Amino acid sequence: MASTLFSTVSRISPAHISNQFVTATTTPFAGALVKGDKQGIKVYSDLDAVAEDFDLYSPFWKKARAYFAANGEASSLLALTFAPGKVAEGDPTNVQTTATDDGAKVTASTATSDGATSLSADALGAVTALKKYYFAGPQFWFLTEFDDEVAQAVSNFIELQNTGIFILYASDSKILQKYPDNKRTMKLALPEVDDSTADVQDTYNNVFDAAFVGAEYGRKPHAAVKYALGGLPYTKPQDRFDFTPDDLAELDKDNIVTYAYVFENPEMTSSRMSADGVHIDTMLGWDWIQNEANARVADLFVQNAEQGIPWSEVGFDSVVNVIRGAFIDARDIDIIAPEVDTDGNETGKPDYSVDYLKPSQLPKSYETKRQMHGIKTKYHPMGMVEDVYIENTIVM
């Protein structure tokens, strides 16, 4: 049975009017999932605003404090409250993702007549809320409190979307040995801090994910992570004498990122996402292109609201040109790698292509429905050097 709950969410274009949600006048950089009694969202511009709705030192308050401290209260934070959901017969359950050549494929069984399901009420509630408010603005999502089943459901849902990153933090790294194929999930692990005492509360908390996301704000989409982020607020690096290279190798094997001392400095140990060979800068670069292209096409429709965009080669070219413009600008901020010739030399041009079908190549039914189809984009993401290995040979 095809799952309607675990599916790709359609973006609401800025060119359309919608009453689905209101996110104030600012676009929040990150969203935290909060378990509550009623589904809804609220955007907070600073920690004082959070304190009006949440108790001091409550889980969300502590994560909000780390988030705002990491970005100097320069970006707002969205709280997405979800309520436990109910699973009825026929609803998707047992949701999983498996890797395919063209992305992630979701499979799901359905609830039986007696209501038995392997998808928890909290997990169902979290995904239901995400589906409704996913495009309310956040680039990053994280959990206020870790829940294994909620984490799996959220990770699998975000994996299906065209944009967005799930930052998943847990103190038990063994729990994070899942999600091997989810490119849009970044797994963070640190030993849990006992922050129940007053002398620890204002120094260290279990807020690695919120601090990391806060520190990401304001940085270029294609920017170094591994050695660039240090001094995360309210986050204690693992002591280098307790954290051995073997420990790190075990985490690295499952693409789990931690926070440790490297040459006396507190730094992230990796930039990799759950899936092998995928780094967060690659995903953020792709998201930038997707979001920018969508926004520019929407703006094109707004600018041509009176006369419209004609169903002609000229009209199609105008749409494709604004999409190409997003790729050209992506080259300028190092998201796209340079093109190379047959000898492996860089040509100075960005390695991307935007192909599309002309009106005469599309079925008549598309013209009748006023739909432009057949735009395909491809690009080679820019990589970066994170480690250097030098081999030395001594000749006696």
Question: Are 163 and 138 in contact, with CB atoms under 8 Å apart?
Answer: no
Q: What is the pLDDT of residues 3-27, one digit of tens each?
A: 667 777 766 544 433 334 443 446 7
d(CA 66, CA 231): 11
Q: What is the pLDDT of residues 60-69, one digit of tens each?
A: 999 999 999 9
Q: Where does the pLDDT of residue 313 fall: very low under 50, low under 70, confident under 90, or very high at 90 and above?
A: very high
Question: Are 325 and 319 in contact, with CB atoms under 8 Å apart?
Answer: no
Q: Where does the pLDDT of residue 239 fall: very low under 50, low under 70, confident under 90, or very high at 90 and above?
A: confident
Percent of the chain with pLDDT over 70: 86
Q: Where does the pLDDT of residue 118 fall: very low under 50, low under 70, confident under 90, or very high at 90 and above?
A: low
Compute the radius of gyration of the chain from its Cα atoms: 23
Q: Which residues of 198-212 are buried (b: 16+ CB within 10 A; e: fewer)?
A: eeeeeeebbbbbbbb
pTM for this entry: 0.84
Give the three-state DSSP class for 336: strand
Task: Give CA separation, 181 vs 104, 106, 130, 352, 354, in Å.
Answer: 8, 12, 21, 25, 27
Backbone φ, ψ for residue 187 (5° rounding): -100, 125
pLDDT at 29 over 70: yes
d(CA 139, CA 80): 13
Q: Where does the pLDDT of residue 33 fall: very low under 50, low under 70, confident under 90, or very high at 90 and above?
A: very high
- Cα 65 → chain centroid: 21
Question: Are 211 and 217 in contact, with CB atoms under 8 Å apart?
Answer: no
Q: Where does the pLDDT of residue 165 fall: very low under 50, low under 70, confident under 90, or very high at 90 and above?
A: very high
pLDDT at 267 over 50: yes
Task: Give CA separation, 102 vs 22, 107, 156, 289, in Å.
Answer: 34, 15, 16, 18
